[in-house]
Amino acid sequence: MKRLSILGSTGSIGTQALDVIANSQEDYEVEALAAGSRVEQLAEQIRRFRPKLASVHSKEDAERLRLLTDSSVKIVWGPEGLKEAAAGTEADLVITAVVGSMGLGPTLAAIEAGKDIGLANKETLVSAGHLVTEAAAKRGVRLLPIDSEHSAIFQCLNGEKTEAVRRLIITASGGSFRDRTREQLRGVTVKEALNHPNWSMGAKITIDSATMVNKGLEVIEAHWLFGMDYDRISVLLHAESVIHSMVEFRDNSVMAQLGNPDMRVPIQYALTYPERRPTPTEPLDLTKIGLLHFREMDYERFPLLKLAYDCGRAGGTLPAVFNAANETAVARFLNGEIPFLAIEEIIARTVEGQSREANPGLDELLEADAAARRRAAEIRPEG
Ligand code: NDP
Ligand code: MG
């Protein structure tokens, strides 16, 4: 019996995690569920999975939730509530599936409380990779990847020695605009950007896929999860999203993990590792797929991927600045405030304007994150 806490239970990853749990409910106990403001959906989850604790975004959300649930569940709210859901229960493993660097505080709290992490919230590792990995190593807890690419690499590395690895090859579908030129990106709508060809995900990560920022975040995530230099992490365009990522070894063997695009597979692997169990996903039928396509990454078409590598290599506060600028720019795009290509301009101008501090502590990182958000919110795009 594994005891779980899920942060972001009403989102795309959160609901798929609950789907995995529902499939094998005798193996799991849900200790806590944390969501933002989708209170009716959370109340339904509480009835079904009977957690001891539930956390929501605000006091008003908590009051609304109270009316919808019986008194046996403790209801908390805000950043402190989220932390309690992460660290204040009997959970063995915490699934971090909130969006953005707001996941950092609760993730660190969960690690300090000795809980393994099922890591979906990549922004946390991007912003504070050195602090999170250091804390995990010190506390002896595992960071189990849920991101499909990292789960693939994790599976390919199973039982291998780090010295034997030449490079990690992260695959990228190319997102909703992969077949458009840069010229054709002018004037694209939010609705078009939200239409991902292979995956159904939350809004923010779908936009990140279209700008290729998602792949940039994943490169930095891989750097921290697998302790790999940036020179040994490459990105390959692969339209079908069937190969979820690969590892090339020094003898020129390449290991790949394949499957239909279904997040329930990597989510479940993080929960059952090192065991494998059946999943409700369709088996992969390569004869139906027929062809798999690969293209070299085009850094001119996707300049934000190059900028992510640069920020990752520079280290210090820069990855946090890159991430915070992106979160702000994407929110502005989703609000209809700026055109799609202005996301690039805002991130580039925010990164340029910030000084880089080497080896920052948590307070300095949070300051850099807040300053980058202020700057990114003020920039009036020219392009
Ligand atoms: P969604 O937008 O679908 O879900 C976000 C979740 O966070 C919701 O449950 C939302 O609650 C919750 N939330 C929002 N505000 C708060 C708050 N203040 N306190 C607590 N919870 C809050 O996102 P995704 O599931 O798509 O993504 C989650 C993370 O996983 C991201 O970091 C993403 O990059 C990563 N990821 C996602 C993948 C995917 O397939 N979706 C694949 C790989 C990684 P509510 O809706 O109730 O407001
Ligand atoms: Mg991914």
345 Cβ contact list (under 8 Å, min separation 6)? 379, 381, 382, 383
Mean pLDDT over the full length of the chain = 97
106/179 same-domain check: no
Q: Which residues surround ligand 2, an ion (CB under 5 A)?
A: 147-149
The reply to whether 339 falls in a domain is: no
Percentage of the chain lying above the pLDDT 70 cut: 100
Torsion of CA 112, 118, 124, 130, to 10 degrees: 60
Q: Which pLDDT tens digit goes with each residue over 173-228?
A: 999 999 999 999 998 999 999 998 888 999 999 999 999 999 999 999 999 999 99
71/111 same-domain check: yes
The reply to whether 333 falls in a domain is: no
The reply to whether 359 falls in a domain is: no
The reply to whether 290 falls in a domain is: yes
302/203 same-domain check: yes
58/108 same-domain check: yes
Q: What is the pLDDT of residue 185?
A: 93
> Which CATH number do you get for residue 34?
3.40.50.720
The domain boundary, picked from 114, 145, 176, lies at 145
Q: Which pLDDT tens digit goes with each residue over 284-309?
A: 999 999 999 999 999 999 999 999 99
Q: Which two tokens stand for residue 300?
A: 């001119």
The pairing of strands 233-237 and 165-172 is: parallel
Assess whether pLDDT exceeds 80 at residue 383: no
169/73 same-domain check: no
Q: Which pLDDT tens digit goes with each residue over 332-346?
A: 999 999 999 999 999
Cβ–ligand 1 distance for 126 under 6 Å, the answer no
Assess whether pLDDT exceeds 80 at residue 356: no
Q: Are 29 and 4 a contacting pair, CB within 8 Å?
A: yes
The reply to whether 125 falls in a domain is: yes
Q: What is the pLDDT of residue 70?
A: 87
**pTM score:** 0.98
Structural domain range at position 161: 150-314
286/303 same-domain check: yes
Look at residue 77 and give its three-state secondary structure: strand
Distance 12 CA to ligand 1 centre (A): 6
Count of structural domains within the chain: 2
Q: What is the pLDDT of residue 113?
A: 98
Cβ–ligand 1 distance for 125 under 6 Å, the answer no
Assess whether pLDDT exceeds 80 at residue 109: yes
215/124 same-domain check: no
The reply to whether 97 falls in a domain is: yes
Name which residue sits closest to atom 11 of ligand 1, judged by CA.
36
The reply to whether 352 falls in a domain is: no
14/161 same-domain check: no
pLDDT band at residue 71 using 50, 70 and 90 as cut-offs = confident
Residue recorded with tokens 């908390």? 76
